[in-house]
Amino acid sequence: MKKFREKLSGRIFLALAISSVAALALITVFILVQGLPIIKSVGLIDFVFGMTWAPTQGEFGIFPMIVGSVAVTLGAAIVGVPVGVCCAIFLAEFAPAALRNVFRPAIQLLAGIPSVVYGFWGLLFVVPLIRDYLGGPGLSILAGSIILGIMILPTIISIAEVSLLALPRQYKEGALALGMTHWQAIKSVLLPAAKSGIVAAVILGIGRAIGETMAVIMVLGNAVALPGSILDPVRTLTTNIGIEMGYAAGEHQQALFATGIVLFVVIMLLNSTAQYITRGNKVNRGKKK
Partner 1 sequence: MRNKNAECRNKNAKCRNIKFFFMALLMLSALFLSGCRPEHSVVIAGSTSVLPYAEILAEAYAHLHAADEIDVQGGGSSAGITAAESGAADIGMSSRSLKESEKHLWSIEIAKDGLAVIVHPGNPVADLTLEQVRAVFAREITSWSQVGGADYDINVIAREEGSGSRSAFEDLVMGESKISPRAIVQASNGAVRQLVSGDKNAIGFISLGLVEEGEKPVKALRLGGVEAARENVVNGTYSLFRPFLFVCAREPEGDAMAFVEFALSPEGRRILEAEGLVTGPSTTPEPTTVPFITDPNFDYIGLFKRLEGVWNVIRPYADNEYNYFFYRNGEPNLFVGYYESEGSDFGTLIGGRSKGENTAQLIFMIPAVSEEPERPPGWIEIVSVDFNSLDSDNEIGIQFENYPREGENWRTFAYAGATFEEAWDVYANARGYTN
Partner 2 sequence: MQPKMVINHLEFYYTKKQALFDLCLEVPENKILALIGPAGSGITTALRALNRLYELTPGARAAGEVLLDGKNIHDGDVSVTRLRRRVGMVFDVPTPLPMSIIDNVTYGPRLQGSAKKSKKALAALAEQALTQATLWDEVKDRLNTPAMSLSGGQQQRLCIARVLALRPEVILLDRPCSGLDPISTAKIEDSLTKLKQEFTIVIAPHNVQQAGRVADRVAFLLSGRLIEEGRTAEVFANPRDERTSDYITGRFG
- What are the angstrom distances between the C-alpha of 153 and each of 70, 204, 218, 230? 18, 11, 20, 21
Nearer to partner 2, 125 or 183 (CB): 183
Nearer to partner 2, 184 or 275 (CB): 184
Helix axes 2-42, 251-285, angle to 10 degrees: 120
Q: Could you say which of 90, 120, 121, 171 contacts partner 2 (CB under 8 A)?
A: 171
Q: Is 282 in the site for partner 2 (CB under 8 A)?
A: no
Distant-in-sequence, close-in-space partners of 52: CB < 8 Å, separation ≥ 6: 59, 61
Q: Could you say which of 1, 97, 98, 249 contacts partner 2 (CB under 8 A)?
A: 97
**H or E element at residue 54:** strand 53-54
Instruction: Quote the least distance from Cβ 119 to partner 2, whole Å.
Output: 41
Number of residues that bind partner 2 (CB under 8 A): 25
Write out the residues near partner 1 by the rule CB under 8 A: 1, 52-56, 64, 128, 131, 136-139, 217-218, 221-225, 232-233, 235, 243-244, 246-249
| CA dihedral (148, 153, 155, 156) positive or negative | positive
Short-list 153, 127, 129, 138, CA closest to 206: 153
Helix axes 141-165, 63-89, angle to 10 degrees: 40
Q: Mark residues 105-144: x for contact with partner 2 by CB under 8 A, - for none.
A: ----------------------------------------
Nearer to partner 2, 6 or 173 (CB): 173
Q: Are strands 59-60 and 53-54 parallel, antiparallel or unpaired?
A: antiparallel
Name which of partner 1, partner 2, none residue 267 binds, using a CB cut-off of 5 to 8 Å depending on partner kind: none
What is the binding site for partner 2 (CB under 8 A)?
96-97, 168, 170-181, 184, 188-189, 192-193, 284-285, 287-289
